[in-house]
């Protein structure tokens, strides 16, 4: 982070305030990760119903991601950040008052709007602020809010739930969101960038089928399916194996790994290209899921968590940097909104699909199924990420440039 000293003072100020807001946002969300599936189970839900309720979170993301992306382009990033953080502060209070599945699905879907808004505006604003020649480095550093928040949040949530119950847990998540809302207020919103004269904005379907967006969206879909399976069912899977491991430690190990890799991957991608690091992340996801699939000890689960963290810490920042490279400033919010919908769809269906597989064949087979999805993602990216198979292979292994990157 000392490299931030070489950036303009006003830029550093905006980035540091934004970093603090992001840290509070992800801590609020992550505080519920290891305990919410157990809370849903405690009110009598089956495995598949747990998956449906947890997956409802992504419905809010899926439905609102295009709208908030468009709003971020037209009205500025700050208003969308405020919307996302406000939802993060309000939604945990809803868990306090609902005790049945359908209302829980509604609250969970509402909670999903927080990531649709905050996540889209956060990365778009970072892309706006980052110097082009250091874009991967700055995005990598600023994405550290995710692993740090995911390390602190579950530890706090698990402690509160174990010592005081669910009510203090949900109140703490709401307070963290409220503090994040206060952090956003002093952020200076960059001027809204008007589209060039005689430029026609692509519509939703034109964007999602365009070569620069289609393959990243598909890869994010498969990542979302795999990651959603892990986050939804890992606590219940560990419990079913009889392994003596606090599920919160799984998320903490993943967060530490994710934090560490982000310190170097972003800067390296500025030098060696985004494709090499996306490929690495997909291989790491595969290794992580193989370890989880075969785990019978705490050590194996923690090794799987470490690999999953390395994968997540590389994939999302590098795909974000790649999409920033491929987007003009006036369309950056919409490009992120559309491409990240693939991730949202994956998260939406991960719970129901994983729950169905778990009901039929058990949790272990469900993670074997998720392993196959990451292998498919590798094959798609290394053969389809560029103009043709030859260009794709070179880009995916760091031997060629991104033909869809826009040089300004």
Q: How many domains does the chain have?
A: 1
The chain-wide mean pLDDT, for the chain, equals 84
pLDDT in the model for residue 205 = 65
- What does the block give as tokens for 401? 């440039």
Beta carbons of 31 and 153 less than 8 angstroms apart: yes
Does the pLDDT of residue 388 top 80, yes or no? Answer: yes
pLDDT at 322 over 70: yes
* Domain membership flag for residue 197: no
Average pLDDT over residues 358-363: 86
- How far lies 35's CA from each of 169, 176, 235, 284, in Å? 9, 17, 8, 26
Measured CA to CA, the distance from residue 63 to residue 113 in angstroms comes to: 8
Q: What are phi and psi of 347, to 5 degrees?
A: -65, -35
Residue 263 neighbours by CB distance under 10 Å: 14
Full domain range(s) for residue 305: 2-188+202-396
- What are the percentages of helix, strand and coil residues in the chain, rounded to 5? 85, 0, 15
Q: Which residues contact 209 (CB under 8 A, 6 or more apart)?
A: none
The 3-class SS string of 155-176 reads HHHHHHHHHHCHHHHHHHHHHH
Q: Within a domain: residue 401?
A: no
| 166: in domain | yes
d(CA 211, CA 206): 10
Least-confidence region, from 2-6, 100-104, 213-217, 228-232: 2-6
In a domain, 129, yes or no: yes
Position 46 scores a pLDDT of 76
Q: Which ranges of 134-209 does DSSP label H, i.e. alpha helix?
A: 135-142, 145-164, 166-184, 204-209
Answer whether residue 260 is part of any domain. yes
Q: Are 81 and 21 in contact (CB under 8 A)?
A: yes
Class of residue 244 by CB neighbours under 10 A (exposed 0-12, middle 13-18, buried 19+): exposed
Return d(Cα 166, Cα 161) in angstroms, integer: 5
- Domain assignment present for residue 402? The answer is no
pLDDT surpassing 90 at residue 147 = no
| Mean pLDDT (whole number) for 167-181 | 92
**Looking at residue 338, what is its pLDDT?**
78
Residue 408 lies in a domain: no
pLDDT bin (cut points 50, 70, 90) of residue 8 is low
What would the pLDDT profile of 257-300 be if each residue is shown by its tens digit?
888 888 888 778 888 888 999 999 999 999 999 999 999 999 99
At 407 the pLDDT is 63
pLDDT number for residue 268:
83
* CB contact at 8 A, 314 and 281: yes
DSSP secondary structure letter of residue 44: T
CATH of the domain at 109: 1.20.1250.20
184-197 mean pLDDT = 68
Residue 343 lies in a domain: yes
Question: DSSP letters along 296-309, please?
Answer: -SHHHHHHHHHHHH
Percentage of residues in the chain having pLDDT higher than 90: 30
């Amino acid at each position: 982070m000392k490299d931030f000293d070489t950036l303009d003072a006003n830029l550093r100020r905006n980035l540091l305030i934004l970093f603090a807001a992001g840290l509070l946002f992800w801590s609020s969300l992550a505080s519920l990760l290891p305990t919410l599936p157990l809370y849903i189970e405690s009110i009598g839900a089956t495995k598949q119903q747990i998956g449906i309720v947890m997956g409802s979170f992504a419905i809010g993301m899926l439905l609102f991601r295009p709208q908030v992306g468009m709003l971020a382009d037209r009205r500025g990033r700050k208003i969308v950040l405020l919307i996302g953080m406000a939802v993060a502060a309000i939604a945990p209070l809803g868990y306090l008052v609902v005790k049945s599945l359908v209302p829980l699905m509604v609250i969970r879907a509402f909670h999903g709007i927080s990531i649709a808004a905050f996540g889209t505006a956060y990365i778009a604003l970072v892309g706006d602020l980052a110097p082009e020649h250091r874009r991967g480095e700055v995005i990598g550093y600023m994405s550290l809010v995710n692993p740090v928040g995911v390390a602190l949040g579950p530890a706090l949530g698990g402690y509160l739930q174990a010592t005081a119950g669910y009510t203090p847990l949900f109140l703490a998540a709401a307070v963290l969101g409220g503090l994040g809302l206060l952090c956003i207020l002093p952020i200076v919103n960059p001027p809204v960038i008007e589209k060039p004269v005689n430029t026609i904005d692509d519509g939703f379907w034109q964007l999602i089928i365009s070569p620069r967006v289609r393959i990243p969206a598909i890869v994010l879909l498969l990542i979302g399916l795999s990651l959603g399976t892990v986050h939804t069912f890992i606590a219940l899977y560990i419990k079913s194996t009889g392994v003596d491991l606090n599920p919160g430690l799984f998320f903490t190990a993943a967060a530490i790994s994710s934090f560490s890799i982000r310190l170097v991957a972003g800067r390296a991608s500025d030098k060696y290209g985004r494709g090499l690091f996306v490929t690495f992340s997909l291989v790491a996801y595969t290794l992580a899921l193989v370890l989880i699939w075969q785990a019978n000890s705490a050590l194996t689960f923690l090794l799987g968590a470490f690999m999953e963290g390395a994968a997540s810490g590389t994939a999302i920042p590098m795909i974000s940097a790649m999409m920033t490279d491929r987007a003009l400033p006036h369309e950056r919010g919409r490009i992120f909104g559309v491409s990240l919908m693939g991730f949202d769809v994956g998260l939406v269906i991960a719970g129901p699909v994983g729950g169905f597989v778990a009901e039929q064949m058990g949790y272990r087979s469900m993670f074997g199924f998720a392993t196959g999805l990451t292998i498919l993602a590798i094959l798609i990216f290394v053969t389809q990420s560029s103009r043709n198979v030859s260009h794709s292979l070179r880009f995916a292994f760091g031997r060629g440039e991104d033909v869809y990157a826009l040089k300004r």
